[in-house]
Structure 1
Amino acid sequence: MPLTSIRAIDYMTKNPVTVTPSNSLFEAIDIMITAKVSGATVINERREVVGVISEIDCLQAILKGTYHGEIGGSVADYMSEEVDIIGTDMDILAVAEKLIKEKRRRMPVVQNGKFIGQYSIRSILNAVKEFNLK
């Protein structure tokens, strides 16, 4: 069985770390540190993807705030609104290629306009590991 026969959705992270645009910068930092992840998908109350926020975004916000005497704000103030998303119909290699091409560690998975999970480099590596154990 070739790797292209592995459905990526079977290895999608179903409950990844998420934050909302109204979370404070410090809440987002705490959520990411507690979960030991370097970024999170930002979703609204309708479970639509509206952005992503990374540790780099948070660090830049802290530095900028320090220089201007105001550290804080909300996730909406610092998140990246340009988000690469993936649908549910790709095989594992297609997802791997997209992650590499777009230089992303993770990408939100959307079905019918709603956030349902994420693919990450780690989830792809787990799929390959399981494939090789068979």
Structure 2
Amino acid sequence: MSSWATGLQPGQGEVSTDRDGTAIDSCVYALESGAGTDHSAVIEQREFKTPQDLAASAPFGLLMKAEAISGLRGDAKYGVNTLTGSTEYVVVSVLDKTSSKLLVSVPSGTAVPEGTNAKEMLVALAKKAGF
């Protein structure tokens, strides 16, 4: 993640179950000491009870400017979400009953590290994470 991760902090993991029985395993890595959710990397996996439950959750629904990507397991999309205080670079992959998400959030106005491409960087990280 190049210069975005120079202050990478240890991950804060959480395992939980949603009200509908969906198992959620997530880990948040602050990209600098004391950073909030607008300056972090998040990896999350959701295991639904059925493929229909996964489809009903609209796993790509929150991706702005989403585009299909190849080279990952199942159907996968990349998106850039431009929010009020941050920009999120997101890869979501779905297969059978599982949705996997890798999100890197940086404060608005933060440039992509020189010599890198955010999409290529996230897809490479997603591959390493087994997406």
Return the structure number with greater strand share. Answer: 2
TM-score, with structure 2 as normaliser: 0.28
Task: Say which structure, 1 or 2, has more relative contact order (CA 8 Å, 6+ apart).
Answer: 1
Instruction: Flag the structure with higher helix content.
Output: 1
- For normalisation by structure 1, the TM-score amounts to 0.27
